[in-house]
Amino acid sequence: MNDQEEIWIQQARGGDKRAFSRLVEAYQGPVFSLTYRMLGNAQEAEDAAQEAFLRAYSNLRQYNPSHKFSTWLFSIANHHCIDRLRKRRVTWLSIEDNPVLQNLTGDSPQPEGSALRREQRDEVQRLLDDLEPEYRTPLILRYWEECSYEEIAQIMDLSIPAVKSRLFRARQQVAKLYRESQPATIPPHSGDGKQGRTGERATRLVQFTAPLASA
């Protein structure tokens, strides 16, 4: 936490709404990124991000300054998203109909390499949509928000070993979902190792496209 952020937090806890607005400006991008990937719907993600900030403002006195403000804020946003997922039947918008993903790389003409990266990001988002929240959350926090294991543990209220276990299982699920999405061109017992390579490709997609999500 930098000195200016600490001042804003202190002022906001004293009732200064302008100071809290500064915090919103600083974190609205990362919070929306989290809520969007959790919910898969741009409008609902925007509503969830706004609700997360409202809850944070209402509970500022409960914030422990010994922890990172971003960790506390992500925890609020994550729990709210999980509540939303539990209350509704999942009906995801298709990636093609979502303006957020369409415009991730800006309005300028895209070279072939950028178009390929955008296609890979879209593929990863489809895989994320099929994960249960308890596995989706650690992947998003680790690869998109670049949180440490300790921060993820605080956000999800888990032990560090539990976080590592969920990340391992999440990567397994992503690999499985990826394999199932590919055309079955080779018999499952062909012994040529293609299934293993397919799982590795799915994991690499998550690892290598996550940092590009806001590029």
**142-197 tens-digit pLDDT:** 888 889 999 999 999 999 999 999 999 998 888 888 888 776 544 444 444 544 55
Q: Is the distance from CB of 155 to CB of 126 less than 8 angstroms?
A: no
In a domain, residue 98? The reply is no
Residue 150 belongs to a domain with what CATH number?
1.10.10.10
Contacts of 124 (CB under 8 A, 6+ apart): 205, 206, 209, 210
Q: Is the distance from CB of 9 to CB of 69 less than 8 angstroms?
A: yes
pLDDT score at 164: 95
In a domain, residue 102? The reply is no
In a domain, residue 76? The reply is yes
Do 37 and 62 share a domain, yes or no? yes
Do 171 and 212 share a domain, yes or no? yes
Do 116 and 173 share a domain, yes or no? yes
Final residue of a structural domain among 91, 120, 153? 91
The amino acid that residue 108 corresponds to is: S
Do 146 and 206 share a domain, yes or no? yes
Collapse the DSSP code of 203 into the 3-class scheme (helix H, G, I; strand E, B; otherwise coil) and give the result: helix
Query: Is the four-CA dihedral 113, 175, 86, 34 of positive or negative sign?
Result: negative
Mean pLDDT of 68-75: 94
Do 121 and 64 share a domain, yes or no? no
Do 123 and 192 share a domain, yes or no? yes
Question: Which residues constitute the domain of residue 199?
Answer: 108-215
Total tally of structural domains belonging to the chain: 2
Do 3 and 85 share a domain, yes or no? yes
Residue 25 belongs to a domain with what CATH number?
1.10.1740.10
d(CA 28, CA 53): 9
Do 139 and 73 share a domain, yes or no? no
Collapse the DSSP code of 90 into the 3-class scheme (helix H, G, I; strand E, B; otherwise coil) and give the result: coil
In a domain, residue 100? The reply is no
Final residue of a structural domain among 56, 91, 126? 91
pLDDT at 105 over 70: no
Residue tagged 């790389």 (tokens): 105
**28-46 tens-digit pLDDT:** 999 999 999 999 888 999 9
Mean pLDDT of 104-123: 52
pLDDT score at 182: 74
Q: What's the predicted TM-score (pTM) here?
A: 0.66
Closest Cα to residue 104, out of 25, 8, 190, 212?
212
In a domain, residue 209? The reply is yes
pLDDT score at 49: 95
Task: Provide φ and ψ at 147, rounded to 5°.
Answer: -80, 150
